[in-house]
Amino acid sequence: MPDIEPDTTSHDRWDALPFLLSVPRAAALLGISRSAGYRLAESGELPTRRMGGRLYVITARLQALLEQDDLGEAAA
């Protein structure tokens, strides 16, 4: 059984992810449906990149977007 450190920071979890996420995987991480993930990607609300005919979410930009939103909500 693998060791799991209880004090893993959110940055460590982000670092473990690949540079690009499939839209369904990004949606699952966000706790939204696959179709909602594709809607957000197509509307430009999720940072995406098209490669090889496939649509991917850019992990670092998604992290920055979520951290920015967290800071904005805390200041409100």
At 51, which CATH number?
A: 1.10.10
Range of the domain at 62: 18-75
Q: Is the pTM of this model over 0.75?
A: no
User: Is 66 contained in some domain?
Assistant: yes
SS (H, E, C) 27-68: HHHHCCCHHHHHHHHHHCCCCEEEECCEEEEEHHHHHHHHHH
User: Is 26 contained in some domain?
Assistant: yes
Residue of 66 and 48 predicted with greater confidence = 48
The whole-number average pLDDT for the span 67-71 is: 73
| Confidence check: pLDDT of 21 > 70 | yes
User: Is 12 contained in some domain?
Assistant: no
User: Is 25 contained in some domain?
Assistant: yes
Average pLDDT, the chain: 85
User: Is 24 contained in some domain?
Assistant: yes
Percentage of residues in the chain having pLDDT higher than 90? 64
User: Is 48 contained in some domain?
Assistant: yes
